[in-house]
Amino acid sequence: MKTIDIDSIPRKHIVEDDTDLVDIDAERVARNRRRLESVDISIQGTRNKLYFLVFVLLFMGIATVFYLRRQDRLDLIAQNEVFRAIYHFESEDYDKALHGDGTHKGFLQVIEEYTGTRTANAAQLYVGLCYMYQQKYHHALVPLSRFSASNSIVQARAWALMGDVYTEIDRPKQASMFYLKAAKHRENSIYSPKYWIKAAIILEKRGKYKRASACYKQIIKKYPNSQYKELAIKESHRLAVKAPFVE
């Protein structure tokens, strides 16, 4: 039987020196420790970001509550301040309505002092109307554009007023745009037909006969019981005949 010399077997993966094994284990431990430290740092960074985000959201929530409460208090004060300006407006004394009477504030001062309140927002509409009645149409554009209402009828009315202003200052493109915007906004049988007619009139002046005819057709289709139906039928037919020769 042949005797095998153990020392003659190749030892490619066998470490001869125990010192080398210790060094390899130490390096592996150090590598794993660095990985764990990196993971810990990443987790801590994520946790800090989360804490910061929660803090910001909580701060914003508290700030919003305080802001809304403050605005409610200011709005109550503004309501008490604005009543005299409304009285002057209804009395057609538009200058006092705008600037006050020396004792009570006008709409402009209410807007400046109580910005962000519902009363200040409503005052923008009054200011626009005051300037319109004074025929200061360019002055009316800014306050009317700043006014907004959750009530669809009031909002549509404000856009129609914008159309009126642009009509007065001879800017028909903008006028038709706002009339159409008013007509399409949550339509109703009382006011929407009027806005469609105003849009049609301006569009015809711009030479947009097909679009003007289409406005009248909206009244015929959607508001068969409207007092404007007969007018809409007549004008629609007239423009339908005219349009092919122009557009």
Instruction: Tell me the C-alpha distance between 184 and 178, whole Å.
Output: 10
3-state helix, strand, coil in the chain (%, to 5): 75, 0, 25
Whole-number pLDDT of residue 59: 59
pLDDT at residue 35 in the model: 73
Between the two ends of the chain, the Cα-to-Cα distance in Å is 114
pLDDT confidence bin for 27, thresholds 50/70/90? confident
Tokens of 37: 């430290």
Q: What is the pTM of this model?
A: 0.73
State the fold for domain 152-247: 1.25.40
Whether residue 49 has pLDDT greater than 50: yes
Question: What is the per-residue pLDDT for 20?
Answer: 56
- 68-105 confidence digits (pLDDT tens): 566 778 899 999 999 999 999 999 999 999 999 999 99
What residues have CB less than 8 Å from 95, skipping those under 6 apart?
134
**CA dist 180 → 131, 166, 183, 205, 211 (Å):** 23, 13, 5, 15, 11
Asked if residue 231 lies in contact with residue 197, where contact means CB atoms within 8 angstroms, the answer is: yes
* Gyration radius (Cα) of the chain, Å: 38
Backbone angles phi, psi at 127, to 5 degrees: -60, -45
pLDDT at 172 over 80: yes
Distance in angstroms (rounded) separating the CA atoms of residues 172 and 157: 18
Is residue 46 scored above 80 in pLDDT?
no
Tokens found for residue 60: 């914003």
| 31 has pLDDT over 80 | no
The domain limits of the chain are 43-148, 152-247
